[in-house]
Amino acid sequence: MDDIKKSLENWLNDLNNFSFQNYENLPDFELYMDQVMKYLDRQLYIFQTTTSDKQITSSMINNYVKGEVIPAPVSKRYTREHLAYIQEVCTLKQVLSIAEVKQILDKTYAEGHDKATAYDEFNYMNSTITSEVVDNTFKKLNDVDANDIDALNKIALDYAVTANAYIEVAKRILFLNRNFEYTQKIREAQAKEDAERAEKERKKAEKKAAKEADSNDNDNENEKESE
């Protein structure tokens, strides 16, 4: 690597041309794990820094299934829906915990949502933001010499600090969402409990009133008989 800047520019061009396949272009036949891994290795190769830098492994996928982050395969076979989930997980897990990734996916792919549309929206967002970052990086590189490590390091630091700020905001939003939903569940449970208690009290009062009414009727009948 004689020219760091040139190598970076070449990779940025590749990154700018990269995007995950849209949902309809994902394999429309079922795949076994080894086929899934071959497909994902080809898709994610651009993000590797070394041959041992695996973005996804079969163990990871199995753990995602166990943790209900992605749907379980049917008869050990994976569909395009699984590939969509896994590719989104691979993107989000770089900056969020798996629990937070699951939180997002549970909402994105909630029952009743069109999974193809949801995935394509994620894919479009990912590609658009990546292109913006690539363009911005090329502008920063205009004033950088071929192997100016200090200048390149400042760009890396700038991006790392910026990314961290965005990550903190994202995590705070997810935290607030979790707290709100938890509070809502508690309120709903309390409201249900109060309603059930009120219903029991109502039935108890009705039963008491009916009993008193029967008692009064009996008293009236006894009075008539005594007359």
Domain of residue 55 covers 4-144
| 119 plus 164 within the same structural domain | no
**Terminus-to-terminus CA distance in the chain, angstroms?**
119
Tokens, residue 60:
């990871």
Q: Are residues 137 and 153 in the same domain?
A: no
97 and 126 within one domain? yes
41 and 62 together in one domain: yes
Question: Where among 119, 144, 169 does a domain terminate?
Answer: 144
pLDDT per residue as tens, the chain (227 positions): 579 999 999 999 999 999 999 999 999 999 999 999 999 999 999 998 876 778 899 999 999 999 999 999 999 999 999 999 999 999 999 999 999 999 999 999 988 889 999 999 999 999 999 999 999 999 999 999 989 999 999 999 999 999 999 999 999 999 999 999 999 999 998 999 889 988 888 888 888 877 777 766 665 666 665 65
pTM of this structure: 0.81
Return the number of other C-beta atoms located less than 10 Å from residue 28's C-beta.
Answer: 9
Summarize pLDDT for 180-220 with one digit per residue, the tens: 999 999 999 899 988 998 888 888 888 887 777 776 666 56
139 shares a domain with 31: yes
| 182/12 Cα distance (integer angstroms) | 42
Asked whether residue 156 falls in the same domain as residue 192, the answer is yes
Where are the alpha helices (H) located in the chain, listed in sequence order? 4-16, 33-44, 58-66, 80-92, 98-108, 115-141, 149-226
- Spell 100-138 as b/e; 16+ CB within 10 A means b: bbbbbbeeebeeeeebeebbbebbeebeeebeebbeebe
Question: Which residues, in sequence order, are CB contacts of 134 under 8 Å at separation 6+?
Answer: 12, 13, 15, 16
Q: At which of 117, 144, 171 does a domain end?
A: 144
Same domain for 105 and 168: no
Distance of CA 172 to the CA centre of its chain: 15
Spatial distance between the Cα atoms of 106 and 77, rounded to a whole number of angstroms = 22
